[in-house]
Amino acid sequence: SPPHAPPRCPLTSPRGQGPGSSFEKRVVAVCEAMMARLGWLGTSSSSSSSGTLLSSGTALAHGATFRGMTLLHLAAAQGYAGLVEALQRWRALAADSLELEQEVDPLNVDHFSCTPLMWACALGHREAAERLCRWDRRALAVPDTLGRLPLGLARARGHLALVTRLEELQPQLSPASPRCHLPGLR
């Protein structure tokens, strides 16, 4: 494709992965163990080159990301609804951690402008998409680099049960945060 064309968003999932895998349970257990550590709940005390040094002396390391995907993007793309939920709890417990906010923000976009919700919708991961939508419904209005919205992409890929469920869920969701109003969301 020409150099001025936007990159294609490669929304595909590796085989052998998916909801309910034992790998997901192990990752959730690791996250929960990290949440239980006192240092993850405290405020940052000083910085290091690899991340922020927390009060317990542990650091949240940041390395190169894969196409700008965060931990939440990866959980959504794999359909790991339990991990999405664990990350949401962790984020709530460590609300003052800027490093964790970067990794666990449902509105964060990757290099293709895909939110975690976009990945879950594109790959048909209904439970993960539902949890992300409940977390922050504003992600429904964030287009990717090609201008596609999460529900439109899910519909185009034949994930109609997912689309129906998220559409049913919308009236139950709390209003969007007053700091960011997106047209089309009531």
* CATH code assigned at 84: 1.25.40.20
Question: Where in the sequence is the domain holding 124, given as residue range(s)?
Answer: 22-44+66-172
Give 71's strand partners.
none
Residue 100 and residue 32: Cα distance in Å, rounded?
14
User: Residue 11 falls within a domain, yes or no?
Assistant: no
Tokens of 34: 């990290």
The three-class DSSP label of residue 178 is coil
Q: Tell me which of 38-47, 93-102, 122-131 is least confident.
A: 38-47
User: Residue 59 falls within a domain, yes or no?
Assistant: no
User: Residue 8 falls within a domain, yes or no?
Assistant: no
Give the number of domains in the chain. Answer: 1
Please report, for residues 79, 83, 166, 183, the alpha-carbon distance to residue 140 in angstroms, rounded to integers and kept in the order given. 17, 20, 9, 11
User: Residue 39 falls within a domain, yes or no?
Assistant: yes
Residue 40 and residue 56: Cα distance in Å, rounded?
8
User: Residue 184 falls within a domain, yes or no?
Assistant: no
pLDDT over 90 at 183, yes or no: no
pLDDT over 80 at 184, yes or no: no
Identify the top-confidence range among 4-8, 54-58, 113-117: 113-117
User: Residue 106 falls within a domain, yes or no?
Assistant: yes
Q: Write down the pTM of the prediction.
A: 0.70
Residue 74 and residue 83: Cα distance in Å, rounded?
10
Identify the top-confidence range among 17-26, 61-70, 89-98, 116-125: 116-125
User: Residue 54 falls within a domain, yes or no?
Assistant: no
pLDDT over 60 at 32, yes or no: yes
User: Residue 53 falls within a domain, yes or no?
Assistant: no
Q: What is the pLDDT of residues 110-139, one digit of tens each?
A: 999 999 999 999 999 999 999 999 999 999
Q: 135: exposed, middle or buried (C-beta count within 10 Å: 0-12, 13-18, 19+)?
A: buried
